[in-house]
Structure 1
């Protein structure tokens, strides 16, 4: 075995990489996605011109938006739903960054459709989006997920903002092949979409809420227990308390995605230690490994953890914020 491979960490990652814990929000997302797609498919079958809709998924960083949407789209693409003409329907995915212009947005969208656009190709805004629509239709792509969509709007002047918003509107209103859009990002994203009323009226919103205690104690308990069970670990009695679950929620800034990551990290630490049961110490190990904090000053050990670690700055002590 290589000195650079830690078997316990490797095996934990391999067994959890494609697993998504079934939170209630996943059902809401699937239901809304199915409604929008079913309407879109019916419109395609009618042969009439139509404008499609988009889904806006917002939540704090670390809430698990990307993972949930990726899992949904993986299942959708594998389902092979036939479109008029027989092609299987599928969705493309595109990650946005703050350095992109509307032209970069178009180029990256075309590449998300697996079309090899040359960087030196000189295309107007209209030509780029015409190419996107054409390639999407040929490939059976009915929609595009734009992840971290808030980034492309930040630090843009008014002209740049409206060029980007107009690009998105063009895709949804195309006469040849309207595209369903999924935007995901932090809550400020909706403020940008509000700037274009014609686009915003087509938006269907889903918010990924933070953990709320005591209502979500049972779900946090199920998360810890299910990941331990999958790893063949028992759960130490010290973990099975509301005090521990509140500490874990605080450590994860009350965001589901971060709580799950901390639990996976603790399971990895338990496997490295060849432990029989998942213990509080393994969560401390995961926290210290990530933050290099003193073991006496973690959310799992410190008496004043709720004031030391706040929701708005994950993994940072209040004194360092």
Structure 2
């Protein structure tokens, strides 16, 4: 049994590495590559124009974080932050909590590879962030969970956040593009300032709908099952897909997690096919409900 569990665990690790393409990802990829090539062209021409940003918006479980990770790891020629390299085309970090501008600046500074040991003021910290982004030739700064920049902020603090974001994109010597990923609250942050909103291209990861997405979900189930040599039972059909969409609250990333969990149960049971009972197991054991 131990050998079986290890073998199944290896297969599930492989499944988790599979990236399920989403229409929103294709839009994200297209927009990012457009901005990237535009920035590279400006550098080649030795001109410095205001940068632009992308706002990746979706509910928890929508798959937006995985999409950004995939984008950054699979864009040809993109140099990601590496302690062994002076150059970092993209620097990425998660917005800390509490998301005070000073704490966010400290986190950004650490993400560039320059941890701060002495106490500094908020203004000095962000000046250091801009200096290090220039030193590393960083083209884009990615902030995950960016909606937290909005939460629990006083009006004056929120204005400081907006000014800081704009200053990064407007810097005369080295403008930096921004990728903000977060929940739908992120739209409130962008809409707080019309100038900020105009600098961002929104990419939304919408909910799935049974009427429009059931067939695509069924194709996704089949694709994941085939990766681990499982056939798909006839009781997994468009009607089942519609129920699965409802059970995952229409969130694509969460739906993928359920599919992987069901595949794991089928493999542990030594089955050669995937059926609705394996999905039911997920809801009984993992979620504590009686049925899908």
TM over 0.5, shorter chain: yes
Aligned counterpart, 1:229: 226
Do the aligned partners of 2:245 and 2:255 also contact (CA within 8 Å) in 1? yes
The root-mean-square deviation of aligned C-alpha atoms, in Å, is 2.3
Q: CA deviation at 1:78?
A: 5.5
Q: CA deviation at 1:89?
A: 5.5
State the alpha-carbon separation in 2 of the partners of residues 283 and 8 from structure 1: 20
Q: CA deviation at 1:80?
A: 5.0
1:199 to 196, 200, 203: 196
Aligned counterpart, 1:150: 147
Distance 1:2-1:232 versus aligned 2 partners, 3 A rule? closer
Distance 1:68-1:193 versus aligned 2 partners, 3 A rule? same
- Alignment pair present for 1:141 and 2:138: yes
State the alpha-carbon separation in 2 of the partners of residues 110 and 17 from structure 1: 31
Aligned counterpart, 1:52: 51
State the alpha-carbon separation in 1 of the partners of residues 100 and 25 from structure 2: 32
Alignment of 1:244-263 (within 5 A): 244-263=240-259
Distance 1:77-1:168 versus aligned 2 partners, 3 A rule? farther
- Alignment pair present for 1:213 and 2:174: no
Q: How many residues align?
A: 288
Q: CA deviation at 1:61?
A: 1.2
Do the aligned partners of 1:76 and 1:90 also contact (CA within 8 Å) in 2? no
Q: Which runs of 4+ in 1 moved over 3 A?
A: 77-81
Q: CA deviation at 1:91?
A: 1.1
Please give the TM-score of this superposition, normalised by the length of structure 1.
0.83
Distance 1:279-1:21 versus aligned 2 partners, 3 A rule? same
Alignment of 1:1-321 (within 5 A): 6-7=5-6, 10-76=9-75, 79=78, 90-118=89-117, 121-239=118-236, 241-294=237-290, 298-299=291-292
Q: CA deviation at 1:265?
A: 0.5
CA deviations over 1:153-210 (Å, ceiling 9, x no partner): 1111111111122221111111121111011111121111222232222011111111
State the alpha-carbon separation in 1 of the partners of residues 2 and 138 from structure 2: 43
Q: CA deviation at 1:32?
A: 0.5
CA deviations over 1:234-261 (Å, ceiling 9, x no partner): 111111x222111111111111111111
State the alpha-carbon separation in 1 of the partners of residues 62 and 132 from structure 2: 33
Aligned counterpart, 2:83: none
Instruction: Structure 2: give runs of 5+ residues left out of the alignment.
Output: 81-85
Q: CA deviation at 1:230?
A: 0.3
Do the aligned partners of 2:210 and 2:241 also contact (CA within 8 Å) in 1? no
Distance 1:293-1:261 versus aligned 2 partners, 3 A rule? same
